[in-house]
Structure 1
Amino acid sequence: MTTVTAKQLKEASAEVLSRVQYGHERVAVTRHGKEVAAVVSIEDARLLDRLEDVLDVHDALAAIEEAERDGTVSLGELRKKLGR
């Protein structure tokens, strides 16, 4: 992954965007020597969104399995346990 500073990105944003769009590069942006952001193609961003959706479904299914296995607690019971 290519790295540019925030200042370099500001000064050469068109070039960086072209490298991402046409050169299929991913560009890390640093501020004070630390990576703080990335410039990626829209395809990569959409892929990341889909991946997050898949992980959310996986987590939800795991929670359902846990509830079926271990049981659930009503809101009233939870309030009693928490003293509210």
Structure 2
Amino acid sequence: MSKYSSGKIRENFSELLNQVAYGKERVVVTRRGKQVAALIPMDDLALLEKMENKTDIDDARKGIADAKKQGAVSWDSIKKERRHK
């Protein structure tokens, strides 16, 4: 994985974009020495999104199971409780 300052990214954007898109390289963008962003191949992004979707589905299933186990709270009771704080 390569690291480049934002200035170097600007100067060499086309070349770096080709390295990412066709060479499947990951590029970390730095600003004032701190890592602030990354350029990644589309396949990596697709995998990341699949992992996030699976996590969201797992969290939703856990929430549903918890609600069934503990009982759901009505929206009206939540609003009423918030007004009294």
- Relative to the length of structure 2, the TM-score reads 0.89
Instruction: Identify unmatched segments of 5+ residues in structure 2.
Output: none
Residue-pair matches, total: 84
Query: 1:47-62 residue pairs with structure 2 within 5 A?
Result: 47-62=47-62
Greater CA drift, 71-80 or 21-30: 71-80
Q: CA separation in 2, counterparts of 1:79 and 1:9? A: 49
Instruction: Give the RMSD, CA atoms, in angstroms.
Output: 1.3
Residue 40 of structure 2 is aligned to residue 40 of structure 1:
yes
Q: CA separation in 2, counterparts of 1:83 and 1:5? A: 49
Query: 1:16-31 residue pairs with structure 2 within 5 A?
Result: 16-31=16-31
Aligned-pair identity (%): 37
Q: State the shift of 1:82 in Å.
A: 2.9
- Relative to the length of structure 1, the TM-score reads 0.90
- Partner SS state of residue 25, structure 2: coil
Q: CA separation in 2, counterparts of 1:62 and 1:37? A: 32
